[in-house]
Amino acid sequence: MKTVRETVDVLVAGGGTAGHIAALQAARAGVKTAVIEAGSMLAGTMTAGGVNMPNHFYSTMGPVVLGIPWELYTKSKEIEGLPIPDYTKRRPVESPGYYSYINVPIYVAVAEEEVVRAGAIIHYHEFISDVKAVGDFWEVTSLGRGIQRVTRAREIIDASGDSDVVRILGLGVMRDEVRQPGSYQYKIEGIEHEQIWEGEVQKIYEEAMESGELQKGDFSYPNILPFKYYLDHGGHNGTHIYNSDTSDVNGQTAANLEGRARMLRMFQFVTSSIPGCERAVLKTMYPRAVARETYRTEGEYIITKDDFMQATDFDDKICNAFNYIDMHSEARGCDVTFHDDQTLLPKVPFRALIPKGSARITVAGRIVSAQRVALGGIRAQCVCMAMGQAMGAAAALAVQRKVPSREISTKDIIALTVEHGAVPV
């Protein structure tokens, strides 16, 4: 196999939700940046995973995450020909935050264009398989079809969603026996909603469950929502995959197979049994099953549920973490916990993004160092992207000052992200 060598300042491991923003921030700050992504597009769970709902740019109290994520979001909306939502003019809703949706093809193309324009190098279809420290550099090996790449980098941002680099380096990770289920995203279109009667479809669904035609998890939320919800959303974000573990290829393959089997079963059920769905079509299917949690990093600080619910004002806060706790389970479907007071705005401390006992490596995204229940809130996409922007800034400043990222003051990290549009914290 051909070996290719590359030297950069900052290497972003995984170009997903957090990683593509980290790469953009580092490159725009003027350091040579590469992003290695195992899949075929940027933004990970948000795009390839089909979870195209970045929450939340605004709470009902005002902006919580703007910066580079907001720039890409608004640019993609403009290309779509849709107005940029003016959240300040919206009426308060049942949820403490406002939902946003992206058009996946447009968002991916916009993000790619900006990353390339900023001078960052994108390597798709490559898995990081080995990482070692050599003097003041990291030497990162990635494998792709036909090549093995060896990248030298001063700083690494692990944005792999599963703490891949942290695990390769033998640093601490946390993982619970009971984890939230994963999901598989698809969308059934062409349902004639005016023909749907809530009571009738509920009965049909319950009979199918009783007869074994459908299985638990085909519709994720039977305990909290009527089956009509599944039809209202064309099945999107409505399937659970229990015990899924996408942190290795065997688990990812098993989750993809199970997700698609559930999708097909549901499509056949709704078109053959639900009045008003005879002409429905299964048009959209995303490439891979996605996980809500696998391995979290054990950082210099572990964010607790109390930190999240009471919005601890950390000395080293680097971004907001606004969301509610959204806990999915096999037993209950999904439970949500809102803050007592809508003015409470949780934060992420820098220490939760530094693997314990490490230097020149940070993490961003759902692998943040947090207790499982706290992660149920922090893992929202806008928070992951804000962490990515902050760690992109920290890595760039570290390279420019020739010190490890952990020595960069949070004041300077925030100043750089604010220069790039972020909400000050």
Ligand X SMILES: Cc1cc2nc3c(=O)[nH]c(=O)nc-3n(C[C@H](O)[C@H](O)[C@H](O)COP(=O)(O)OP(=O)(O)OC[C@H]3O[C@@H](n4cnc5c(N)ncnc54)[C@H](O)[C@@H]3O)c2cc1C
CA 277 to chain CA centroid, Å, is: 32
What radius of gyration, in Å, describes the C-alpha atoms of the chain?
Answer: 21
Q: How many residues bind ligand X (CB under 6 A)?
A: 36
3-state secondary structure of 398: helix
The least CB distance from residue 236 to ligand X, in Å, is 10
Q: What is the token pair recorded at 137?
A: 């550099």
Lay out the site mask for ligand X across 88-127 (x = CB under 6 A, - = otherwise).
Answer: ---------------------------------------x
User: What is the C-alpha to C-alpha distance for residues 294 and 245, in angstroms, rounded to an integer?
Assistant: 6
Q: Please report whether residue 9 would count as binding ligand X according to CB under 6 A.
A: no
User: What is the C-alpha to C-alpha distance for residues 298 and 352, in angstroms, rounded to an integer?
Assistant: 8
Binding piece for ligand X, criterion CB under 6 A, among 13-21, 260-268, 297-305, 346-354: 13-21
Whole-number Cα distances in Å, 156 to 74, 347, 374, 392: 29, 23, 25, 10
Binding piece for ligand X, criterion CB under 6 A, among 48-56, 58-66, 270-278, 403-411: 48-56
Which of 384, 394, 397, 425 is close enough to bind ligand X by CB under 6 A?
A: 384
User: What is the C-alpha to C-alpha distance for residues 287 and 219, in angstroms, rounded to an integer?
Assistant: 20
Q: Please report whether residue 352 would count as binding ligand X according to CB under 6 A.
A: no
Q: Please report whether residue 72 would count as binding ligand X according to CB under 6 A.
A: no
Nearest to 422 by CA among 28, 113, 90, 95: 28
Lay out the site mask for ligand X across 165-184 (x = CB under 6 A, - = otherwise).
Answer: ------------------x-
Q: Please report whether residue 369 would count as binding ligand X according to CB under 6 A.
A: no
Q: Please report whether residue 188 would count as binding ligand X according to CB under 6 A.
A: no
Q: Please report whether residue 374 would count as binding ligand X according to CB under 6 A.
A: no
Which of the residues 251 through 280 are near ligand X (CB under 6 A)? none
> Residue 339, preceding bond cis, omega within 30 degrees?
no
Other Cβ atoms less than 10 A from the Cβ of 99: the count is 12
What are the residues binding ligand X (CB under 6 A)?
A: 13-19, 36-39, 44-46, 51, 53-55, 127-128, 159-162, 164, 183, 237, 290-292, 365-366, 379-381, 384
